Amino acid sequence: MRSILFALLIAGCGAASPAPTILVYGDSLSAAYGIPQGAGWVALLGERLKQRKSNYTVANASISGETTAGGAARIGKTLAQHKPAIVIVELGGNDGLRGLPVEEMKVNLSRIVRESKSKGARVLLVGMRIPPNYGAKYTNAFRAVFREVAREERIPLVPFLFEGMVDKPGMFQPDDIHPTEKAQPILMENVWRGLAAMVIVPSR
């Protein structure tokens, strides 16, 4: 009997613990809208982690058309499903395109961040900017929300997902909103700059 228990104990000690999960929680910009899924920046992030021999896996819970209100409504269920160690929040663009109140957007983003933190996850917030269609006051307030949430919640911020690509040709699909396949490596690198310090890469 003792030998059986000892064998079970040894087997349990040798079992591999599940890999920690990075949850990407965004909209169409993270859902690879209009391009092959494997070409999107989230898939490229998974490849980067493998190259760096990281034990993190990536789960993409992004939904095209998602607003911060929609994200706030489903964050609890999504966290329970994936149990992430890190959450990358990329939401807000659709709020801006629809001219939704920035005050509500801030409340929603803060809720997503706080619920994620309450479950033990670290959070990286990804910022966005919008064209001045609704006037400078709205545009500036929209941009400031990401800085404010990051500061108040004490989390890292990627200031602008589209950094370094807005003025380059071939970066956007015909709708002038969604990035092309060519742009995805740039998006991934922008996110990686904020994420790299959060990811523990084992020594070789």
DSSP per-residue string spanning 29-72: TTTTTTS-GGGSHHHHHHHHHHHTT---EEEE---TT--HHHHH
Going by the DSSP 8-state scheme, the letter that residue 90 receives in this structure is E
Q: CA 132, CA 136: separation in Å to the nearest integer?
A: 6
Residues annotated catalytic, as ranges? 28, 175, 178
Rg (C-alpha) for the chain, rounded Å, is: 19
Q: How many Cβ atoms are within 10 Å of 11's Cβ, its own excluded?
A: 9
Q: CA 179, CA 161: separation in Å to the nearest integer?
A: 11
